[in-house]
Amino acid sequence: MTVVVDDARPYRRGVGIALINADGHVFVGQRHDSAEPAWQMPQGGIDKGEDPQTAALREMMEEIGTDKAKIIAETPEWLRYDLPTALSQKMWKGKYRGQEQKWFLMTFLGKDCDINIATEHPEFSTWKWLPFHDLPDVIVGFKRDIYIQVVAAFRSAVDQIVKT
């Protein structure tokens, strides 16, 4: 019998970035702190007093070393995911149960050489461009539902990028 415990901890507010190149492929990075495959798009917390758009551009620069992008869409609502119990006790000193994120679709305006994951606080050990619709297939399990929602939210915009 499984016992479900009501977790009253709040969600940490954050942003996520779906960075799309001209081919309609999305940037994904392999988390450097995971021996298992753990690909994800850039994401991170919103600083006190910071608006989500500014946070998204800051996080992109901090995580992948470029600001060569333009915001073209955002999710209308905040999307949530819960961390697995063991991880939620370690992350953010156990203060949060997971994250609620505003996601942004951005077009990449640079070249691959403009991306530099060797940042001051590296998040990723390697990176690649992935077909946008394949995202849910490579993401760590506890984030899969949120990535399905992101793909659904931005599907038509990404399809337009590919057609042009």
Q: How far apart are alpha carbons 161 and 133 in whole angstroms?
A: 13
Please give the backbone phi and psi of residue 139, each rounded to the nearest 5 degrees, phi first.
-85, 145
Asked if residue 27 lies in contact with residue 66, where contact means CB atoms within 8 angstroms, the answer is no
Q: Tell me the pLDDT tens digit for each residue of 49-71.
A: 999 999 999 999 999 999 999 99
Above 90 in pLDDT, residue 2? no
Q: What is the pTM of this model?
A: 0.91
pLDDT at 1: 44
88 token code pair: 């939620």
CATH domain 11-163 topology = Nucleoside Triphosphate Pyrophosphohydrolase (3.90.79)
Domain residue ranges of the chain, discontinuous segments joined by + = 11-163
pLDDT at 90: 81
Q: What is the DSSP string of 3-36?
A: PPPP--PPEEEEEEEEEE-TTSEEEEEEETT-SS
